[in-house]
Amino acid sequence: MKSTVIFFIISILILGALFHVGKKLHSDIRESSVNILLSNINYSDPVNFTNNRLRGLPDIVKRYLKKHIKSNVTLPGFVRLKQKGFLKPHLNSDWSEVEIEQYISCKRPGFFWSAAYYIYKFPVIRHNEIYINQGGRQFSEFFSLIKFSSAEGEEISRSSLFKYISEMPFYPATLLPDRHITWKVMTNNRAKLIFRDLGISAAAIFTFNDDDEIIKIQTDSRAINSDFGIKSYPSGVIFSDYKQFGDFKVPAYSETEWIINDKIIKSSKMTLTEIDFDIYGVFEGESENSLEE
């Protein structure tokens, strides 16, 4: 009995030590990534949202931006957000509850994204995705210490750029005319966006509803890093429940889906819990922009 208690105590101490070391390593990666994202912001050149900035856009995109960005607000260069919900670690696996943190550079495309799976309040597994300086990377870890999956390269970079595009409703100012963006009208409620980030490019189709909300963004090719290597499939993100967060109206709920062998597979169901615009640095404490009912 005594040896069992000692073994239990030692196991708890080891797990606690692993947790704290992993937490420090994850924090270092997050901090360094966010610092690079922040270095891409031009703090001395703030830009306000006016109708003049809508020139050349498809009508449906103009209406969307007018309804989702307050007039004359300063357009953000940096966004950070948190989500809670359910994610499938693999497309054929069961749902797992996760918490997500994401940090986004709006002036020069880039992000740091991390989903944590908790057991007894410990982040046992983390899935991470980074897109910085035209380079994408995906990696997963136990206790932020042991990598069991990692992928990078041109296909992953293009896929990560699509992820940046597919979440633009959370940072709608990035849809304004820009050297990166080309819009093409498809129908009265659909438009195609082509995004070029130097040598990397990605395309996505935006679908709008009658309330001028983006309800879906889809692409023909989003990469999955699986046990069988990197494979790309059609993928999309569905948005709903638009709410006002500060000066911006953004979707509070989103789902991700994949089309594999003509079958639609859902892989995430996420609720936005916090979002900040131009609050520089990582999350510490409460968000300044909570949901406005």
8-state DSSP, 63: H
Range 188-207 average pLDDT: 94
pTM (2 d.p.)? 0.88
Sketch out the chain's domains with CATH numbers: 2-41+54-277 (2.50.20)
Instruction: Write down the pLDDT at residue 199.
Output: 86
Instruction: With H, G, I as helix, E, B as strand and everything else as coil, classify residue 25.
Output: helix
Range 2-8 average pLDDT: 64
Range 148-175 average pLDDT: 92
Q: How far apart are CA 30 and CA 200, in angstroms?
A: 23
Higher pLDDT, residue 260 or 80: 80
Instruction: Write down the pLDDT at residue 110.
Output: 95
Digit-coded pLDDT (tens) for 78-112: 999 999 999 987 778 899 999 999 999 998 899 99
Quick one: pLDDT band at residue 292, thresholds 50, 70, 90? Answer: very low
Range 39-45 average pLDDT: 75
Digit-coded pLDDT (tens) for 121-133: 777 889 999 999 9
Instruction: Write down the pLDDT at residue 288.
Output: 47
Ramachandran area for residue 181 (φ above 0: left; ψ -120 to 50: alpha; else beta) = beta
